Amino acid sequence: MPTKNAIENSRLLRCVDRIADLCGAAGIAMLIFITGALTYEAVARYFFHAPTQWTQDISVTMQIWFTYIGMAMVLKDGKMIRITAILGISPVWFRYACEGLALLIIFLFSLMATVKGWDVVADSIRLGRRQPTMLALPNWIAELPVVLGFALLTVQSFVEIVRLPFRGPPSISAESELDMADSQLAAEDTEGERA
């Protein structure tokens, strides 16, 4: 039976985590590029009356890319949306079961999306489909991140399933969100008093 240290120090699992982190960093770089491109477009259009033809197509395509390739990092960091109303007051075994079920559903859905998505990409490449936009980019450029993103999410969800017995269920407190809101209000009141 593997130990917690063996699982956490596994090269394969750390490699999967590193890929997720690199994809997240690439997504941040794309977001910065999109911000710069849209700023450039606004300045070129409104101050110099010289709009670009590439900004919208490239920005939308990059938004698709960073959205999908970042999914694995979001799962790894435990930042997926959760409904914690019941989980916050549930016993540990129930949180374990819910976390395991959620990871299994993510794994199965991601696997299906990867397979079906690849069929769409292959058809687009085979048929030479193009986007009905100014640049007329090949469709597969905007379809490929869906396949890659769900493939990465499939692998990351499998890794999280392997880790679950050793890491345990997420610790969720029903009051933690209320405490966070109260502390933010208190901080705002303190800043208001200083001013």
* 72 lies in some domain: yes
In DSSP notation, 86-152 reads TGGGS-HHHHHHHHHHHHHHHHHHHHHHHHHHHHHHHHHHHHT-B-SSSS--BHHHHHHHHHHHHHH
Q: How many domains does the chain have?
A: 1
Structural domain of residue 134, as residue ranges? 4-179
Contacts of residue 84, defined as CB under 8 A and 6 or more positions apart, other chains included, come to: 172, 174, 177
* 156 lies in some domain: yes
Write out pLDDT tens, residues 6-34.
666 788 899 999 999 999 999 999 999 99
Least confident interval from 64-68, 109-113, 120-124, 131-135:
131-135
**Looking at the predicted structure, is the pLDDT value of residue 114 above 60?**
yes
The pLDDT of residue 71 is 94
* 166 lies in some domain: yes
* 192 lies in some domain: no
Write out pLDDT tens, residues 123-137.
999 999 998 888 889
Write out pLDDT tens, residues 132-186.
888 889 999 999 999 999 999 999 999 999 999 888 777 665 555 555 555 555 5
* 29 lies in some domain: yes
